[in-house]
Amino acid sequence: MSIQVHELTKIYGEQKALDNVSFSIPEGEVVGFLGPNGAGKSTCMKILTAFIPPNAGRAEVAGHDVENESLELRQKVGYLPEHNPLYLDMYVKEFLHFIARIHQLDRPQLRVREMIGITGLDREENKKIGSLSKGYRQRVGLAQAMIHDPEVLILDEPTAGLDPNQLSEIRKLISDFGKNKTVLFSSHIMQEVQAICDRVIIINKGKIVADENIDLLSRNRDDTEVVRLKLKEAVSRKQLESIPEVKNLTVNGESYELVFDSNSGGVEKVFQWVNENRFTVLHLERKESSLEDIFQLLTKES
């Protein structure tokens, strides 16, 4: 196991930021850590990178305990803190050299060159970090986190505040790295997690509310199947109701939404019905329940 968290609890004053959290991540897996702001994502990551200790519970990263073997742990973990703090008056190359020296790498020059290449900072290497755009700063942040080729990468909101182009570039960097390393990254955007990884851990108010494959997540929590249909011919409501097992239907001008019980094969039934009546289909799809809906369902105020 690359990351093993056992009954972790962190209390700030009166507030429980983490409440008995347990999960484990095997080597080489990319996992999204999801939750609304203030759910405890950052706190958990700070504990995993040995920045702050937990009040109770144990956590192990790359085989090292966060409290007793924190120096060894920090050697094997790459961390991008929230808001990506950097020394704004340092030059990109200078900064990466500094980090390489802290890690006491054998050939810092070579490694810095390599990281600049990997993160696409070639044209910015002689600029001050303070003069870079947010997307490039994020690359510098990722470069410093990955410079010592860590076993585990922990990224706290690596894509916050980026524009769509920058977003897909950073996502690509993370997925590339995740091909042979363990990555835990946090986000509050569901689509993003879906784009990068398969497994998601959702946390709310310090408690884990879901920990599973992202596709199962939507399927397991959905008890209806909605089919969208658009036909060339005009059909009456009555005709639509004749489709077997339709529970509900809405008509939106030319297109219809038909609701079935989940696992009742709604799309097949509609297709058969269309065939039997020899209509011309313009559009037929199963509407996936949006990930946002599930996220809200899991994390809404209770």
Partner 1 sequence: MWAIYRKEIIAFLSSITGYLVISVFLVLLGLFMWVFPDTSVLHYNYATLAQLFDLSPFIFLFLIPAITMRTFSEEFQAGTIELLSTKPLTDFKIVMGKYLAVVSLVIFALLPTLLYFYSIYDLGSPRGNIDTGAVWGSYFGLVLLGATFSAIGVFASSLSSNQIVAFLLAVVLSFLLYLSFQYLSKLPVFYASIDDSIQSMGMEYHYASLSKGLIDSRDLIYFFSLIGFFLFCTQIKLSSRRW
Binding site for partner 1 (CB under 8 A): 46, 49-53, 71-72, 74-75, 77, 79, 81, 83, 85-90, 94, 98-99, 101-103, 144
Among the listed residues 3, 33, 47, 36, the one whose alpha carbon sits nearest the alpha carbon of residue 302:
36
Rounded CA-CA distance 75/63 in Å is 12
> Nearest approach, Cβ of 133 to partner 1 (angstroms)?
18
User: Which residue, 26 or 53, is less far from partner 1 as judged by CB?
Assistant: 53
CB of 25 to partner 1, least distance (A): 18
For partner 1, give the closer residue by CB, 10 or 205: 10
Question: Measured from the CB of residue 51, what is the shortest distance to partner 1 in angstroms?
Answer: 5
C-beta separation of 261 from 245 below 8 A? yes
Q: Select 27 or 89, whichever has its Cβ closest to partner 1.
A: 89
Nearest residue (CB) to partner 1, 75 versus 239:
75
- Whether the Cβ atoms of residue 184 and residue 3 lie closer than 8 Å to each other: yes
Closest distance between partner 1 and the C-beta of residue 92, in Å?
A: 14
Given a contact cutoff of 8 angstroms between Cβ atoms, the answer to whether 52 and 75 are in contact is no
153 CB burial (10 A radius; 0-12, 13-18, 19+) = buried
Which CB, 34 or 96, lies closer to partner 1?
A: 96
- 128, 88 Cβ separation under 8 angstroms: yes
Nearest distance in Å: CB 221, partner 1: 35
Length of the chain: 302
What b/e string do you get for 180-204 counting C-beta neighbours within 10 Å, with b at 16 or more? ebbbbbbbbbbebbbbbbebbbbbb
C-beta neighbour count of 118 within 10 angstroms: 16
Q: Is the CB of 103 or the CB of 230 nearer to partner 1?
A: 103
Residue nearer to partner 1 on the CB measure, 67 or 261: 67
To the nearest whole angstrom, how small is the minimum distance from the Cβ of residue 195 to partner 1? 27
Q: CA 284, CA 157: separation in Å to the nearest integer?
A: 37
Nearer to partner 1, 89 or 163 (CB): 89
Residue 58 CB, nearest distance to partner 1 (Å)?
Answer: 16
Q: How far apart are CB 89 and partner 1 at their closest, in Å?
A: 7
